[in-house]
């Protein structure tokens, strides 16, 4: 299955994509995670992306488009993938469609996780991440077994650099600007599926399962 996950910052894209990836055995491809890894490694993509990420602004289309095309060309994507946080602009969506068409492929669904604004801030401020395995937790809604430590590798959890208030405001503004035309783009193609993200994590997962024709109860 070839899926795209969209929704505002803190909606639960990463949380749900991780679960879908496990259930369907397809890679979870988060452009945000890839860019953060590139920044930590100090490579060329990382150098280009750093200032944008820290400010909460969108990285230029050509940088992310190249990154995603490279990633989708790897063998582990042959049976499908779930893209998380890409495309974010109509320009990126067009580039993705061109790449897919060129390879005789198409998207099965675009899952749009809708969450009211007041819930987003609470989710973002409570988020803790593991820089080593990429696991995401929430102090209240998805706590690790040992407080502030990763279930997977026991290392200490941290907050994302762009989860500071000014960067979050920028990210929300970027979303508000780009989301409507992007949703329209996929609605016209008949593959946009709206998901109610204002429910507990497991329930959102079940709703996604239903939309994809699976029973994940």
- Contacts to Zn ion from residues 144-203, by CB under 5 A: 150, 152-153
CA dihedral 114, 8, 68, 38 (to 10 degrees): -140
| 3 binds ligand AP5 per the rule CB under 6 A | no
143: buried, middle or exposed (CB in 10 Å: 19+, 13-18, 0-12)?
Answer: middle
Contact track, Zn ion, 110-139, x by CB under 5 A: --------------------x-xx------
User: Which of 176, 216, 124 is closest to 7 using CA atoms?
Assistant: 176
Binding span for Mg ion by CB under 5 A among 14-22, 111-119, 141-149, 192-200? 14-22
Angle at 75 between CA 73 and CA 76, to 5 degrees: 110
177 is catalytic: no
| 9 binds Mg ion per the rule CB under 5 A | no
69 is catalytic: no
* Min CB(31)–ligand AP5 separation in Å: 3
Which residues have C-beta within 8 Å of that of residue 157, sequence separation ≥ 6? 128, 129, 130, 137, 144, 148, 149, 150
40 is catalytic: no
127 is catalytic: yes
| 2 binds ligand AP5 per the rule CB under 6 A | no
Question: Which one is catalytic: 160, 183, 210, 214?
Answer: 160
Binding site for ligand AP5 (CB under 6 A): 7, 9-15, 31-32, 35, 52-53, 56-59, 64, 85-86, 88, 92, 123, 126-127, 136-138, 141-142, 162, 171, 197, 200-201, 204
Residues of this chain that bind Mg ion (CB under 5 A): 14
């Amino acid at each position: 299955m070839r899926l795209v996950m969209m929704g505002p910052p803190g909606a639960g894209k990463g949380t749900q994509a991780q679960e879908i990836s496990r259930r369907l055995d397809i890679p979870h491809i988060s452009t945000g995670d890839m860019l953060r890894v590139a920044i930590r490694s100090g490579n060329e993509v990382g150098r280009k992306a750093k200032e944008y990420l820290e400010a909460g602004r969108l990285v230029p289309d050509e940088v992310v488009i190249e990154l995603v095309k490279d990633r989708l060309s790897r063998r582990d994507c042959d049976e499908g993938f779930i893209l998380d946080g890409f495309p974010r602009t109509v320009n990126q969506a067009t580039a993705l469609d061109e790449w897919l068409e060129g390879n005789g492929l198409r998207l099965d669904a675009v899952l749009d996780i809708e969450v009211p604004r007041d819930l987003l801030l609470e989710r973002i401020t409570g988020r803790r991440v593991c820089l080593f395995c990429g696991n995401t937790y929430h102090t209240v809604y998805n706590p690790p077994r040992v407080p502030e430590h990763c279930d997977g590798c026991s290392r200490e959890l941290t907050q994302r650099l762009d989860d500071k208030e000014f960067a979050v405001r920028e990210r929300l503004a970027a979303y508000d600007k780009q989301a409507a035309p992007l949703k329209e783009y996929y609605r016209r193609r008949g593959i946009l599926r709206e998901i109610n993200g204002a429910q507990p994590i497991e329930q959102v997962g079940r709703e996604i399962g239903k939309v994809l024709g699976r029973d994940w109860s």
